[in-house]
């Protein structure tokens, strides 16, 4: 319609009308682009908000994993200290032989619960979040999480060495009743195998361990690795709380 009218005005050499039609066309295109941009901006705002809602859940999940790892590391360190104290002593185990064997077993464990980082990775790909006050706390948290697995990049030498001293029956009892996976992912270290182990010659296994020239040093190294985790992991809880607060502020109406 506008083009037909513009053509007629040109034929009539009505230049004022031509100019007016041209302005109307340009203005219409401009308004259309502005509306399109506004709609795109609103859609992107909503996309960012949806991702932030999902990221809030991801950060909370990673916080729970950190809490689990702190408990796990505490168990490895404390059982390792008791096992090392036995190796460094000259006392004979008596009523505590089965419990000591469990300590040696638990001290050899390696936590391996994976972190969830998919939502944050996708947001980074999209350049989200756009606000620096929201982005920086998240970067601090995920940088920590991404570089965190130095403690358990590979199983320690102690893990393989100590398990060579367990009899097949002892190994079966330890794996059946002194660890469990209630949710299929997060391993729990328990002591339900002690009564079964009391019927075995656990004292002989422990004496063989103490006679090893390398086992104590291997255990010291592994305790040290987990001790560093024990010191550093609580920092991830603080980073998680800061990141959660930043997301909550960004989602606030």
Residues 152, 110: contact at Cβ < 8 Å?
Answer: yes
- The answer, yes or no, to whether residue 216 has pLDDT greater than 60, is yes
- The answer, yes or no, to whether residue 18 has pLDDT greater than 90, is no
Distance CA(26)–CA(7), nearest Å, equals 16
Residue 180 structural domain: 2-6+16-251
Residue 13's pLDDT band (cuts 50, 70, 90): low
Distance CA(218)–CA(156), nearest Å, equals 8
**Domain membership flag for residue 62:** yes
Residue 182's pLDDT band (cuts 50, 70, 90): confident
Distance CA(91)–CA(210), nearest Å, equals 11
Distance CA(98)–CA(20), nearest Å, equals 97
Torsion angle of C-alpha atoms 153, 154, 159, 164, degrees rounded to 10: 160
Distance CA(176)–CA(147), nearest Å, equals 33
Number of domains in the chain: 1
Residues 211, 135: contact at Cβ < 8 Å?
Answer: no
**Domain membership flag for residue 199:** yes
Distance CA(203)–CA(104), nearest Å, equals 13
Residues 4, 25: contact at Cβ < 8 Å?
Answer: no
What is the structure's pLDDT at 44? 78
What's the pLDDT tens digit per position in 192-212?
A: 999 999 999 999 999 999 999
**Domain membership flag for residue 20:** yes
What is the structure's pLDDT at 112? 74
What is the percent of the chain with per-residue pLDDT over 90, rounded to a whole number? 72
pTM of the entire predicted model: 0.82
**Domain membership flag for residue 11:** no
**Domain membership flag for residue 146:** yes
**Domain membership flag for residue 163:** yes
Distances (CA, A) of 88 to 85, 212, 219: 5, 11, 11
């Amino acid at each position: 319609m506008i083009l037909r009218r513009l053509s007629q005005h040109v034929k009539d050499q009505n230049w004022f009308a031509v100019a007016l039609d041209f302005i109307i066309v340009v203005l219409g295109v401009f308004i259309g682009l502005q509306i399109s941009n506004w709609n795109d901006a609103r859609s992107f705002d909503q996309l960012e908000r949806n991702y932030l809602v999902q990221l809030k859940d991801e950060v909370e999940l990673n916080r729970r994993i950190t809490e689990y790892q702190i408990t796990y590391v505490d168990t490895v360190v404390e059982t390792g200290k008791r096992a090392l104290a036995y190796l460094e002593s000259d006392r004979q185990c008596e009523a505590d032989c089965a419990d000591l064997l469990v300590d040696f077993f638990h001290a050899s464990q390696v936590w391996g619960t994976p972190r969830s980082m998919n939502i944050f990775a996708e947001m980074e790909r999209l350049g989200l979040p756009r606000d620096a006050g929201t982005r920086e706390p998240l970067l601090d948290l995920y940088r920590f999480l991404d570089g965190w697995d130095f403690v358990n990049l590979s199983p320690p030498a102690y893990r393989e060495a100590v398990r060579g001293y367990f009899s097949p029956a002892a190994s079966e009892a330890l794996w059946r009743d002194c660890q469990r996976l209630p949710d299929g992912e997060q391993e729990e270290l328990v002591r339900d195998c002690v009564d079964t182990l009391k019927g075995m010659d656990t004292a002989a296994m422990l004496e063989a361990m103490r006679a090893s020239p390398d086992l104590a040093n291997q255990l010291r190294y592994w305790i040290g690795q987990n001790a560093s985790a024990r010191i550093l992991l609580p920092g991830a809880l603080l980073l998680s709380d800061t990141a959660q607060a930043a997301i909550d502020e960004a989602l606030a109406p």
